[in-house]
Amino acid sequence: MSILSPNPHILYREIHQREPQQLHAWSSGPGSIFAKSNGFGFDRSSNEWKGRAKRDFRAHSFWPELFKPDTLEMEPIQDCDQFDQILEQAKLASKPIVVDWMAAWCRKCIYLKPKLEKLAADYDTKVKFYCVDVNNVPQPLVKRGNISKMPTIQLWSDGEMKAEVIGGHKAWLVIEEVRQMIQQFV
């Protein structure tokens, strides 16, 4: 199959040149190209489709590296002991970590978090991302991070804070500053 199919007709032609038993791997449910008889697949009312409808269908990907997740959920930090363990693991692995100090009531924090999770997917193997809700953790942890404004994004390496970005302005600017901060230390 062509890596780049500029035209749906090419994709249709290449799919229908396959054996019928290979076609079911292309179905991923109601939104698939085989869901309706529209010239691009099987009719659900046909006997050929009814036998396959009862099976478990999974989307088949030929290029898994192209289908990496768009976002990675940041792991929450709950207390000082957990923070110490994370810093020690990062020190042993010689990888920096990024900590997002945020609050559940902070509108900018809430808006920034999904963008940071998207950035975390870009640096999946190089940097680990964590978040701390300052209202749900002990105050000594917040004092240890020396947090006075939110959101504050800090990069920690070798057990100490190396750089920080205070995100009081537009989210895309904050993300660019965080990206530059990560690139300095990775």
Residue 44 backbone dihedrals phi, psi, to 5 degrees: -65, -25
59-64-69-70 Cα dihedral, nearest 10 degrees = -100
Q: How confident is the model at residue 57 (pLDDT cuts 50, 70, 90)?
A: very low
Q: How confident is the model at residue 117 (pLDDT cuts 50, 70, 90)?
A: very high
Give the model confidence (pLDDT) of 36-53 as tens digits. 444 444 445 555 544 444
Q: Is 131 a residue of the active site?
A: no
Beta strands in the chain (DSSP E): 75-76, 97-102, 128-133, 152-157, 160-166
Kindly name the residue from 109, 155, 163, 165 that is annotated as catalytic. 109
* Closest C-alpha among 159, 36, 141 to residue 78: 141
User: pTM of the entire structure?
Assistant: 0.64
Q: How confident is the model at residue 87 (pLDDT cuts 50, 70, 90)?
A: very high
Kindly name the residue from 74, 98, 102, 106 that is annotated as catalytic. 106
Q: Where in the chain is the domain with CATH 3.40.30.10?
A: 75-185
Q: Is 80 a residue of the active site?
A: no
Per CATH, the homologous superfamily of domain 75-185 is: Glutaredoxin (3.40.30.10)
